[in-house]
Amino acid sequence: MFTKIPSLTSIRYEDFNWKAVLLILFLVALFIRFPFFFRDYVDRDESTFIIMGQSWVDGHLPYTQLWDLKPPITFLFFAIVIKLFGKSFIAIRLFGTVLVALTSLFTYGIASQITSKKIAFWCAVFCVFFLSLFGSLQGVMSEHICTFFFMTALYVVFLKNGGIWYFISGLLLGLSVMSKLNMAYPVLILGLCLLWIGYKNRQLWSTFQGLVFMGMGTVLIVLLTVLPYYLEGNTHLWWQSIFEAPLAYSEGKFHSPLKTLPFLIVILGLLTAGFATKIIDWKARELQILTAIVVGTLLSFMQAGKINGHYLIQLYPLILIPFSMAVGKLPQPKKRYRPLLFLLLALIPMESYLEYANIVSHKLEKGSFFNGEGIDVPNYIVEHNLETKNIFFTEYHIGYWVLNESPPTKAATHPSNVVREEIFPYMENPRKTGMEELRYIMEVLQPKTLVARNGKKIFDKKLIEVNSYIDTYLMEHYTLVETVGRGLIYQRLE
């Protein structure tokens, strides 16, 4: 444990124990992510996970009352936090910060086995940056959850031996897959890679035995997730929602493997260049495994047919290790350039600085640090006693949670799912098309209040027919009663 840090350039990284590293990583993560604790939402998926978690707390298994396209461990994370701490944005975001710090710690643990502790430390710090900045990563995403379990499992595989440790790693890998299904690709690649290395080292039988224990742990987690559905006689819904629906979703009209090719070419090109120039040591067992897992993850992106910014959370820890090792081999910057490097390092969390300014401004203006239309719109609805029966949030749907309401239909849990008719059969939706679902909500349920976003089409702009329908319907049957920020609040005409 260090007692004094005279300057950043004279730190003795070898003196850091894991507790010191974890404390530093947590404080960095907390500083970066803290101002976003008060935001209504950062990504719409996080809002959906919160609503699904609340439904579980209320006694409804995932996919029964509400529905979303993720395995149940993601919803369980939110359900546990809500059960323990109630409806608290701060608690959810704080535990997200803990996930980021722990994921970065295990990244440090893996990196420190194949490079210096100095490089491993800065790799972990940048892992915090990349898991928290540059897009919609300040919220708690399913990728944060699955990557934490996966990197923990990988740490166990790299540093521990014996059947019990293989079994523990299998449990963690099972939790990762049951948080986000595409993790099945890197998990499978990891197993094949270990088997190949065991064969090359003439340890095939012992490796095979270890993988059997690992497989047992993974399968056990999958079976535990199906158990409550089995007890209710509803295993078909579990199977459809977790395994069949994602395949149907990836074959949707807006997805294509060709869209992922430019990104895949860049990542694989950089890795190939690193190995070809020997900046990255191909002979290192750990780097071979990391590279194989990166390829497996990229294959899962191809299968999904698109790459959202938050998908990259799954790649960042894996890529940062070899990248940090490559940077570590570059010539050290001259002393006169070091202040500039520290300045650039300090400027990286610019999004956080801006958000600190935003929450202070919001506090001075409205008396609360909590901000965003997902909070302000429900507050307006409550203050003006607007009817919330069958309320329909086409945007800012975290408002359901704030108002203690539920989406009007199972398909409307995530607003965009209303028109994703390719997944309707797997959520056991009685309507067959997106238009039919939308007509049911608007013409049969007739929500008294509808919330939309100013300057944005309610559904994807490519869906001309459904946008034309709802725009016309709103014009004829609703009146705009208030604009709160960018939130549009409509009331149904009598």
Tell me if 409 is assigned to some domain: yes
Same structural domain, 332 and 393: no
Q: 17 in helix, strand or coil?
A: coil
Q: Are residues 286 and 401 in the same domain?
A: no
Give me the domain span that covers residue 453. 372-492
Residue 102 and residue 210 in one domain: yes
* 208 and 327 assigned to the same domain: yes
Q: 336 and 284 share a domain?
A: yes
Q: Do 337 and 378 share a domain, yes or no?
A: no
Distance of CA 461 to CAs 162, 416, 454, 464, Å? Answer: 54, 12, 14, 6
Same domain, 404 and 280: no
What's the pLDDT at 276?
74
Same domain, 417 and 464: yes
Return the pLDDT at 9. Answer: 52
Token duo for residue 424? 């309707």
- Mean pLDDT by 10-residue block, N- to C-terminus, for the chain (494 residues)? 47 79 96 95 93 97 95 97 96 97 97 91 96 88 96 94 93 97 94 91 90 96 96 94 87 67 80 74 81 90 79 92 84 75 87 94 92 95 92 96 95 92 90 94 95 91 90 95 95 90
pLDDT at residue 262, rounded to an integer: 79
> What is the secondary structure of 298-352 as a DSSP string?
HHHHHHHT---GGGGGGTHHHHHHHHHHHHHTSPPPPGGGHHHHHHHHHHTTHHH
Q: What is the pLDDT of residue 1?
A: 42
- Domain membership of residue 206 (yes or no) is yes
Question: How confident is the model at residue 10, as a pLDDT?
Answer: 59
**In angstroms, rounded to a whole number, what is the distance separating the alpha carbons of residues 269 and 75?**
36
Cβ neighbours of residue 215 under 8 Å, at least 6 residues apart? 170, 191
pLDDT at 86: 94
- Asked if residue 260 and residue 143 are part of one domain, the reply reads yes
Whole-number Å distance between alpha carbons of 98 and 196: 35
- Report the alpha-carbon distance of residue 446 to residue 270 in Å, rounded: 54
Q: What is the pLDDT of residue 259?
A: 72
Would you state the pLDDT for residue 300?
A: 87
